[in-house]
């Protein structure tokens, strides 16, 4: 089973779903109608992109979160952990002497 699409404009590529007649083929479905069938996903994707371009679909803008950039948050957390580790590291030192 394979399904990829844009629900906002009802455009999908499907394989082996309840809307497809043959399970081996990839179907391009737009507005509930089968537009074409292909043996390969690459060919179906080409048609899918053509229809998307004809419709003029533009994805909605992504709103920035209050937390800012995820990479910055990950870096800050990593720096906090390493700083904490190194601040406590002196308490774990040994003399490296072999005791007999």
CA 86 to chain centre: 36
Residue 61's pLDDT band (cuts 50, 70, 90)? confident
What is the Cα–Cα distance from 27 to 40, expressed in whole angstroms? Answer: 10
17: pLDDT strictly greater than 90: yes
pLDDT average, residue stretch 4-25: 94
Q: What are the backbone angles phi and psi of residue 50, rounded to the nearest 5°?
A: -65, -45
CA 38 – CA 50 distance, rounded (Å): 14
Q: How far apart are CA 57 and CA 31, in angstroms?
A: 14
Summarize pLDDT for 72-85 with one digit per residue, the tens.
Answer: 888 889 999 888 88
pLDDT of amino acid 7:
94
**Sheet hosting strand 33-38, strand order edge to edge:** 2-6, 11-15, 26-30, 33-38
pLDDT the model gives residue 53: 95
pTM (two decimals): 0.61
């Amino acid at each position: 089973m394979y399904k990829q699409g844009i629900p906002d404009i009802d455009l999908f590529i499907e394989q082996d779903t309840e809307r497809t007649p043959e399970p081996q083929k990839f179907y391009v479905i737009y507005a509930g109608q089968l537009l074409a069938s292909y043996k390969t996903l690459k060919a179906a994707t080409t048609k899918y992109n053509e229809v998307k371009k004809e419709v003029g679909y533009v994805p909605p803008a992504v709103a920035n979160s209050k937390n800012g950039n995820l990479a910055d948050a990950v870096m800050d957390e990593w720096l906090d952990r390493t700083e904490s580790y190194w601040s406590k590291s002196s308490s774990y030192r040994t003399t490296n002497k072999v005791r007999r």
